Amino acid sequence: MTIFALGSGAAADSAPDASGLDRRMFMRGAGGLTFAVAIGLPALAAEARRVDLGPWVTLSTDGTITIRGPATEMGQGSRTSLPLIFAEEMDADWSKVRIVRAAPIDAVYGNPGFGGVMYTAGSSAVTGYYKALRQFGAQVRLVLLDNVARRWNVPASELTTEASTVVHAASGRRIGYGEIAAFAEMPAKAPEVRDADLKDPKTFRLIGKDVMRVELPTKVNGTADYAINVAFPGLLHGAVLRTPVPGDGPAAIDDSAAKAVRGFIRTVPLPYGVGVLADSTVAALAAKDALKVTWTRKAKGWGFDSEKGLEEFAAAARDPARPSKPWETAGGGAAALAACASVHEAEYRCDFAYHAQMEPLNAVASVAADGSACELWVGTQSQTMAVTAAATTLGIGPDKVTFHEHLLGGGFGRRGPRDMEFVVDAVLLSQAVKQPVKMVWSREDDIRNGRFHPLTAHHMKAGFDAAGQLVAWHHRKAADVVTEFQDPVRYQKAGQKDFIGMLGAELKTYGIPNRQVDQITMDSGMRTQALRGIGFGPNKWAVEVFIDELAILRGADPLAFRLDLLKGSPRAHAVVDKAGRMADWSRKREGRGLGVAYIDYSGTQIAGVVEVSVDRASGQIKLHDVWIALDCGVTVQPDNIVAQTEGCVVYGIGLALSERITMVDGEVQQSNFYDYLIPRMRDVPAIHVELIATPNHPTGVGQMATPVIAPAISNAVAALTGKRLRHMPMTPDRVLETMKA
C-alpha cells in the first residue's frame, strides 16, 4: 500500500484526514500490496499537480511530503514513529514531512501484527507495522527512481537517493522529490520490494535518532484536539447514569429532581441506564446525579464482594481438584514435581485496578434525522471499532459513519473494547433528540463504571532436583476470563483461551525444563479488561516474586540466580546483568534494600532494579531509585522510548503500592482520586533508563516496564526486612501486617 500524490503543509495536522477513500477503488498489486487513488485531499494552489499512487503518502511540488499515520496518539508517540519508518525507506527529508490521520479502513491501514485491525494497543504499533511500512516506503522510492531514470534516460541502477533528492553520481545531476512530482507517471502495479531493496540499518538517517513527537507542540500551546474540547453551534450535552453492575438495567426511574436542574432538557431511558440531556456538561452531570433509579438486580454481579471473592479465587487456585485449562506445558509439566528432591510453594494475590486515564471517556455524535447516517468525533484506540459500534447501534453500514479522530488523554486499554460503550452512549442520545450531542463521563462515572484489571489469585509450586537445580514449575491462576468479556470474537477464534488474562504467565526464557501453567476460570460477574501491562501485570508479579523466594530458599543471590537461569538466553542475560551494574547491585545501602525483576514481554527484554526504604511505624514504602535496562531490538525513537519507560515506571508504582478497587454488593466503592490513590510527584523516585540497541525486529515498549515494578519492590522489601509481601497493591496496612507476622 503506497501513495504518491501532491499535498501541502508541514509537521502535524491537527484535523483528521478527509480522504474518504472508497473501498471499491483498490486494486491488488505485486506482493499483495495495494495501489489506489486517494480522493478528497486538501485543495492545492492552481499551479500544483497531484499524482496519486495508493493511500499512504502524498507529495507536493514544493517538496512537502504528507504521510498518513494509522495509529491513534495517546501520548505514546505512534503518530510520529510510524510515519518516521515510512519516511526512512522513502528517504524523505523529515523537515518537509507533514502527518495526517489515516481513514478508518482496516483493509488498508490495519495493523498487520494485530490481525489487520486498526487497533493501537498491546504495544503492537511499531512492531506490527515496521516491516510493512518499510516496504511501502521503499516502493515509493523505487517509483521515484524509475521516473527519474526515464526522464534522464539512464539506468535506474545508476541512481541513488539522499534526503528528498535523487542523485546521478556519474553526471552530477540532482533533482528534488517535489520536482519529480511535476512529471511523474504511475506504474500499473506496485514495484516488487525485496529485503535487499530495503536500507541497511547502518545507513538509517531517521530510525534510531531522536525526533520530536509531532503532536507535542500542540499540547504545549493548547491547540491539541481532544474530543472533550469539541464545540459547535447546536451541540447538546449528555451524561449517562449506568447500572453499577454490568448486565443490569433500570426497573424504575424518578427524574423529578433532575428536571429541577437549570439547563435540563430531558431524560432518555436506555437498556443499561438513564441518559440526561442538558445545555451544558455541568448541567447534564448535575441532572444525572439527581436521578433516582431502581435497578432490576437480575445481573450476576449483584452481591459480589471483592474481599470474599478473592478468598474464593485463592481457594480455587490451591485446590488441585478444581478443573483448569492449560496455558503452557513444557517437558513433564507439573508431574515432574513428584520426582523432585524438594518442593516449595507460595500464593500471590492482586486486587482489581482502574485504568486512571486523565481524560474521562467522552464522545460527540450527530445522528441524521432519519437515522440513516452518523457523524462521530472521538478519541479511541480503534478507529474502525468506533465506527462499527456507531453503525451497529443505528443498524446502518460503516460507510454511513463519518469519523473524526482525536487525540486521547490516555488510553491504557480503556478506550479499546469492541462495544465502545462511550461511543454508544453518544449515538443513542443523539438519536433520541436528532441533534448532535457531546457525551462526557465524570471522573466518578469513569471509576464506578470502569472495566478493571482483574482480581487474581496465584498458587505456585517449584521443585529442585538433588543437585539443587530448579527443574519443575507449576503455576495455577484463578481469575475472571478477560478476553471473553473484552473481545468475544477473538476469544472464540483462540479456542476459548484467555490470552489477554494469561499472557506473561508462561516462562519462555528461564531455563526450567518442566513447566505447567493452568487457568482456573472464575465468574464474578464483574467487568474486566486489559490494562497497561495486560496479563503480564499480575502474572509476572507472581512469577518474579516466586523466583526471588526460590533464590533466597537456595541461599543464592537473587540477581545471580536469575542470571544462571537465563544463561541460555543471551539477550535476557544481558538486560539483567546491565540493570544490576546500573544499580551497583553488590553495594550495601544502610536502611535500604534492592530488588530485581526480569520480563520477556512479547520479545522485549527488560529488567529493573529498585531501591526502597520502609517506614516501620506507618508501613509506607518509599522508592529512592529505579534502574531499567531494556532491549526492544531496533530503537525507532530512543528518547521517546526512554520517556515511555519512565511513564511505565510511574504507572507501575501506583499499581504496586496504592491503586485498588474494592466492591461490595457488586458496586465499586471508590469514586475519585482521593480514594483511588494514584502516584503524586512526591512518590516518584529518580528513574534511570538505558537502552540496549540490537538489530532485532523492534518489539513493544509502551507498557513493558510497568509489570517489572511491583515484583521488584516486593523483592527489595524482602531483602531489607526479611518479610515477603505477596498481595498487590502493597498498601501500608498490608506492610504493617506482614511485618508483625
Measuring CA to CA, which residue among 363, 342, 269 is closest to residue 554?
Answer: 342
How many residues are listed for the chain in this entry?
741
Reported CATH class of domain 306-353+452-740: alpha beta
CB 715 within 8 A of CB 722: no
122: left (phi over 0), alpha (psi -120 to 50) or beta: left
Q: What residue segments make up the domains of the chain, in order of their start?
A: 11-215, 227-299+361-440, 306-353+452-740
Distance CA 319, CA 71 (A): 44
Q: What's the rounded Cα separation, in Å, for the pair 472 and 329?
A: 11
Residue 711: count of CB within 10 angstroms of its CB? 31
DSSP string, 30-83: GGG-EE----SPPP--TT------SSSEEE-TTS-EEEEE-S--SSS-HHHHHH
CA 74, CA 409: separation in Å to the nearest integer? Answer: 6
Residue 23 CB coordination number (10 Å): 12
Cβ pair 237, 277 in contact under 8 A: yes
- 674 burial (CB, 10 Å; 0-12 / 13-18 / 19+) is exposed
Residue 484 has a pLDDT of 86
pLDDT of the residue at 12: 53
**What Rg, from alpha-carbon coordinates, does the chain have?**
27
504 conformational bin, left if phi > 0, alpha if psi -120 to 50, beta if neither = left
Same fold, 11-215 and 227-299+361-440: yes
Closest alpha carbon to 716 in 559, 503, 525: 559
- Asked whether the beta carbons of 168 and 152 are under 8 A apart, the reply is yes
In angstroms, the CA 99 to CA 136 distance is 16
**What is the C-alpha separation between 215 and 225, in angstroms, rounded?**
10
> Which H/E stretch holds residue 490?
helix 488-493
**Which residue reads 423529578 in cell numbers?**
256
Burial class (CB in 10 A: 0-12, 13-18, 19+), 14: middle
CA 367 to chain centre: 30
At 184 the pLDDT is 87
Spatial distance between the Cα atoms of 634 and 185, rounded to a whole number of angstroms: 35
Residues 626 and 608 sit within 8 Å (Cβ to Cβ): yes
| Angular region, 63: left φ>0, alpha ψ -120 to 50, beta rest | left
Domain 11-215 matching CATH 3.30.365.10: the answer reads yes
Query: What's the confidence (pLDDT) of residue 2?
Result: 30
The label of the residue with cell 486523565 reads 358
Contact 458, 348 (CB under 8 A): yes
Return the amino acid letter for 138. Answer: A
In the chain, the amino acid numbered 374 is C
User: Which residues does 416 contact at the CB level (< 8 Å), separation at least 6?
Assistant: 119, 120, 121, 380, 381, 382, 385, 530
Contact between 290 and 432 (Cβ < 8 Å): no
Strand, coil or helix: what is 678? coil
Reported in sequence order, the residue ranges of 583-706 that DSSP labels E, i.e. its strands, are 593-601, 604-614, 621-631, 663-664, 667-668, 686-691
Nearest to 625 by CA among 613, 640, 607: 613
Distance CA 710, CA 656 (A): 5
The three-class DSSP label of residue 292 is strand
The pTM of the full predicted model, rounded to 2 decimals, is: 0.93
Which cell is 529 given? Answer: 479488561
On whether the CB atoms of residues 96 and 112 are closer than 8 A, the answer is: no
Which residues have C-beta within 8 Å of that of residue 219, sequence separation ≥ 6? none
Number of Cβ within 10 Å of residue 299's Cβ equals 18
Secondary structure in 3-state letters for 409-460: CCCCCCCCCCCCHHHHHHHHHHHHHCCCEEEECCHHHHHHCCCEECCEEEEE
Q: What is the mean pLDDT of each run of 10 residues along the chain (741 residues)?
A: 30 44 31 33 46 76 93 96 97 96 96 92 95 95 96 97 97 96 87 93 95 94 96 97 96 98 98 98 98 97 97 98 95 97 98 96 97 98 96 97 97 86 98 98 97 96 97 97 85 87 94 97 92 94 98 97 98 98 96 98 97 97 98 97 98 98 97 97 97 95 97 98 98 97 85
CB 732 within 8 A of CB 566: no
Torsion angles phi and psi, residue 648, rounded to 5: -60, -40
The type of residue at 502 is: M
Q: What is the pLDDT of residue 54?
A: 63
Instruction: Pull the grid cell for residue 548.
Output: 526471588
CA–CA gap between residue 631 and residue 643 (Å, rounded): 15
Cβ-contact 403, 434 below 8 angstroms? no
Helix (H, G, I), strand (E, B) or coil at 684: coil
Question: Which CATH number describes the domain made up of 227-299+361-440?
Answer: 3.30.365.10
Q: For residues 347 and 458, give the distance between their C-alpha atoms in angstroms, rounded to a whole number.
A: 6
